[in-house]
Amino acid sequence: MEKLLPRFLEYVTTDTQSDPYSKTTPSTEKQWDLAKKLVLELHQIGMQEVSIDENAYIMATLPSNLDKKVPTIGFVSHFDTSPDFSGRNVKPQIIENYDGKDIVLNKLKNIVLSPDYFEDLKAYEGQTLITTDGTTLLGADDKAGIAEIITAMEYLINHPEIKHGKIRIAFTPDEEIGRGAHKFDVEKFGAEWAYTVDGSQVGELEYENFNAAKAKITITGKSVHPGYAKNKMVNAIGIANDFLSHLPPSEVPEHTMGREGFFHVHNIKGEIEQAEIELIIRDHDAVHFEARKDLLNDIKEKLNKKYGEYINLTIEDQYKNMREKVEPMFHIVEIAEEAMKSLQIEPIIKPIRGGTDGSQLSFMGLPCPNIFAGGHNFHGKYEYVPLESMEKAVKVIVKICELTAIQIR
């Protein structure tokens, strides 16, 4: 475990922010910087069949140390960080023996990580926290997962008395922009199932996620001098505002939880002659998910009748709820649950309010539940991860490998 913290700190200080507008894979050239470091490190710790392809997908093998055949399993994490918040010049702060009080992330800008607002902090009094300096995200999503997987593999290499089957690991680019599994070679990976290590608090174990789509509304207007605009100007900004007013105000991320779906408007730009709205659609229930897409089309049709044919809508599905692919192999969830319980970790089985590479991989033939990596408040300056949570994740990965080797098939 002594290598876990320095390993994680090195990863987060390497900028790997992805770009949803790029057409390349990886979407940013800087993702290669960490990818190449990871390949070198995997060689150094003794992993075999280490490879990186032309799209920066990394795979490696820990061979079985058994004389019998057991399932080949895998662990997957992503090395890109969110495009929505800066991952450049990350300066992690280490708070040892956290006292349960406010943490001043940035005194100059008066940015404070407070347990009064982020109540989860109260559970980590006395532990070691890694935080941001208040100007960037941290990158625990999902560099914590990578650090944990590599640390677990190194531990197994150094402790051959722990019996396990063949273990495959993979690190992917561009998960944060929904493309992490797009060029993943499931056949080459060769595992019967895998686990993404991409969850949040200790104990999280997830095998269902949102159905997801993204939508873009483009509105074309007509600019006319405002003094002579009656019955002539078509203000795209005004139509955009009208469109948004038809969305249910309570069905947004900040007012929903659990299995409740939402519309999330994340980008608006506009002038009189053109306005654009970008949003995402999320719902665990497939029927409700389709109804949300239908609502957007209904709004478009209604407003085009009101204003004229000025609104264009495109909707693109991103991923589906992996539950239907994991449930037929529910023993893979039960193994992870047993691993946690054997380590006195209470499993928290709940739906993911988001998606992981695992959701797409499950539909590509690699059933892939998600387990915790330990971080909190992803994608922003209040992100933090307790070191002890990362250590527990390492132990869970090791225990899953051990338990899989003794399961009766």
Tell me which residues are annotated as active site: 80, 175
Q: Which residues are registered as beta bridge partners of 172? A: 78
The β-bridge relationship of strands 73-78 and 167-172 is parallel
- Burial bucket for residue 294 (CB in 10 Å: 0-12, 13-18, 19+): exposed
- Of the candidates 115, 136, 118, 159, the one whose C-alpha atom is nearest the C-alpha of residue 14 is 136
Instruction: Return the residue matching tokens 């300056």.
Output: 381
Question: Distance between CA atoms of 182 and 22, rounded to whole angstroms?
Answer: 14
What are the strands of the beta sheet with 193-199, ordered from one edge?
A: 48-52, 58-62, 167-172, 73-78, 193-199, 370-372, 204-206, 348-349
Evaluate whether 178 touches 355 at the Cβ level (below 8 Å): yes
389: Cα separation from own chain's centroid: 17
- The residue type found at 253 is P
Whole-Å CA distances, 223 to 218, 227, 312: 16, 12, 18
The β-bridge relationship of strands 167-172 and 58-62 is antiparallel
Sign of CA dihedral 291, 293, 298, 299: positive
The β-bridge relationship of strands 274-283 and 262-270 is antiparallel
- Of the candidates 355, 309, 22, 348, the one whose C-alpha atom is nearest the C-alpha of residue 196 is 355
Two tokens, residue 362: 């499950």
Question: Distance between CA atoms of 409 and 244, rounded to whole angstroms?
Answer: 53
